[in-house]
Amino acid sequence: MAGGRCGPQLTALLAAWVAAVAATAGPEQAALPAEQSRVQPMTASNWTLVMEGEWMLKFYAPWCPSCQQTDSEWETFAKNGEMLQISVGKVDVIQEPGLSGRFFVTTLPAFFHAKDGIFRRYRGPGIFEDLQNYILEKKWQSVEPLTGWKSPASLTMSGMAGLFSISGKIWHLHNYFTVTLGIPAWCSYVFFVIATLVFGLFMGLVLVVISECFYVPLPRHLSERSEQNGRSEEAHRAEQLQDAEEEKDDSNEEENKDSLVDDEEEKEDLGDEDEAEEEEEDDNLAAGVDEERSEANDQGPPGEDSVTREEVEPEEAEEGISEKPCPADTEVVEDSLRQRKSQHADKGL
């Protein structure tokens, strides 16, 4: 009987002891911190740390599935950072839009390697083995660095960071209007349009005020003199242009006159050559006529010798008679000579 009663009591005591031990052990286990991440979050205030030493940066977004797939690999890579002598960081583009603009991030996830302020884009997979080989084998040396205006430390990228940060603030403000306050999206768009116009007008007013402060107007008499000088210069230029046009016209007229004179001289030279040729022809004709006349005079009246010759050789005498020039032919030649001389006289007039 006594043993049957002690059994349930012992079990109850054991159960109470186990519960007590569990209650005391629970707070101790809860007090133990979770394993700390070795990945250092980078912000706009501490991003300059990557300018010294060797770093690997990852740009991600919480809503990006590809970024979530590489989180475990990136944590493993960060745990081995001490062995690889490299620091590992990450940038949330939603919280830090300025850094995404400074590095000109257009795709997610994006990886960058930095060595003493020289940045390179890592385009391999975000797997621990590939990342480890990239550092150990120094594959980054074969990658073209981001130099000049593309460097995140340049003035151009600083301006880009400012633009991205402004766009991020506008996006957060739009979400506050539409999600928190429940305002329709079109009302938010109208607000931003009006704000843009007002801001543009305000900046224009500021520029006008600044120009008025730094611009010193000239006295009235100086301004009048400057206007007069400008008018006189314009008039002088107009006179110069007019004189140049007149000179061109005069030169053209002189050229035309010279060409006309040359044409007339050429015509006169041609006429003189024609007259010389005609005179030579006339002289040749006159010489021919004179020769014919002299031959006719030299033959004279026939004597006794000629009679005997005619009797002996009648055929030769008949041929000699036929060869003598006819007086009618000589008159025709003289008439033609007279006509040509009269034509030359008319041309000379």
Choose the catalytic residue: 6, 64, 213, 326.
Answer: 64
Is the distance from CB of 163 to CB of 101 less than 8 angstroms? yes
Q: 130 with 167, same domain?
A: no
Give 62-108 pLDDT, tens digit per residue: 999 999 999 999 999 999 988 989 999 999 999 999 999 999 998 99
Total residue count of the chain as it appears in this document: 349
Instruction: For the beta carbon of residue 69, count every other beta carbon within 10 angstroms.
Output: 11
* 135 against 335, higher pLDDT: 135
Domain hosting 80: range is: 40-148
- Provide φ and ψ at 87, rounded to 5°: -100, 145
Active site residue 64: yes
What's residue 213's pLDDT? 84
Alpha carbons 54 and 136: distance in angstroms, whole number: 12
Residue 15 lies in a domain: no
Q: 144 and 178 share a domain? A: no
The pair of three-digit structure tokens given for residue 316, joined into one six-digit string: 């030769």
Compute φ and ψ for 66, nearest 5 degrees: -65, -35
* More confidently predicted of 177 and 10: 177
| Structural domains in the chain (count) | 2
Our answer to whether residue 326 is catalytic in this structure is no
52 and 125 inside one domain: yes
Contact 39, 88 (CB under 8 A): yes
Task: Write out pLDDT tens, residues 250-289.
Answer: 777 777 777 777 777 777 777 666 677 777 777 777 777 6
Domain harbouring 77, CATH code: 3.40.30.10
Beta bridge partners of 87: 55
Share of the chain above pLDDT 70, in %: 69
My answer on whether 137 and 165 are in the same domain is: no
Tell me whether residue 31 is in a domain: no
Please provide the DSSP assignment of 274-337 as one string. HHHHHHHHHHHHHHHHHHHHHHHHHH-S--HHHHHHHHH-HHHHHHHHHHSPPHHHHHHHHHHH
Q: How many CB atoms lie within 10 A of CB 89?
A: 23
In a domain, 76, yes or no: yes
The bridge status of strand 54-60 relative to strand 110-115 is antiparallel
Q: pLDDT digit string (tens) for 102-118?
A: 999 989 999 999 999 89
Could you tell me if residue 80 is inside a domain? yes
Residue 131 and residue 63 in one domain: yes
pTM beyond 0.75: no
Domain presence at residue 300: no
**Catalytic residue chosen out of the listed positions 67, 187, 213, 326:** 67
